Amino acid sequence: MTDLIIRPAAPGDRAGWEPLFLGYGDFYKVPMTAETLKTVWGWIHDPGHVVEALVAERDGALVGLAHYRAMPSPLRGIEIGFLDDLFVDPAARGAKVGEALLARLNGIAAERGWSRIRWITGDDNYRARTLYDRVAVKTAWNLYEMTP
């Protein structure tokens, strides 16, 4: 097995990225359309859009993804990082792929002067939470949503 490579998503990665993102949507029971996939892929490669992506590559195949962005923190008067999506191919789990993606994102935060990275996950996402508990601190905040 070759080493794991964590890198920004490249335009030629769509065929490997798409099944990972679909798997992420399936996990959270969020249906994805071809238009959703096209839109998000477009965001990732639009230098004017805030969404960026890292991919994890092993043996020439993509095995994980992380979508992230800068997020203003008005209370602090700074930008911090926000991790929107993290997904590892089920066949690659247990091989520290998620940990490597988070470590690279932490490095990006340091390079950009973000004092922190935030993310949310499902309360019942026990496997991911085991990783998150190792690399981050769980906050006391609760998440609320309104829909118009």
What 125-132 contacts at long range (C-beta under 8 Å, 24+ apart), as own/partner pairs, is 127/93, 128/86, 128/98, 131/98, 131/99, 131/102
Answer yes or no: is pLDDT of 49 > 80. yes
pLDDT in tens, 59-109: 999 999 999 999 999 999 999 999 999 999 999 999 999 999 999 999 999
pLDDT of residue 142: 86
Instruction: State which amino acid sits at residue 130.
Output: T
User: 5-135 domain in CATH 3.40.630.30?
Assistant: yes
pLDDT band at 121 (very low <50, low <70, confident <90, very high): very high
**Across the chain, what does the average pLDDT equal?**
96
pLDDT of residue 72: 97
SS3 of 99, please?
Answer: helix
pLDDT of residue 131: 94
Answer yes or no: is pLDDT of 48 > 70. yes
For 20, 46, 132, the CA distances from 136, given in Å and listed in that order, are: 24, 30, 5
Answer yes or no: is pLDDT of 1 > 60. no
pLDDT of residue 104: 98
For residues 27-36, b (16+ Cβ closer than 10 Å) or e, as one string?
Answer: eeeeeeeeee
CA-based nearest residue to 108, from 6, 2, 3: 6
The answer to whether the CB of 25 falls within 8 A of the CB of 32 is: yes
Which sequence spans correspond to the domains of the chain?
A: 5-135
Answer yes or no: is pLDDT of 2 > 70. no
CA distance 117 to 67: 12
* Stretch 128-138: mean pLDDT: 94
pTM for the complete prediction?
Answer: 0.94
CA distance 41 to 137: 30
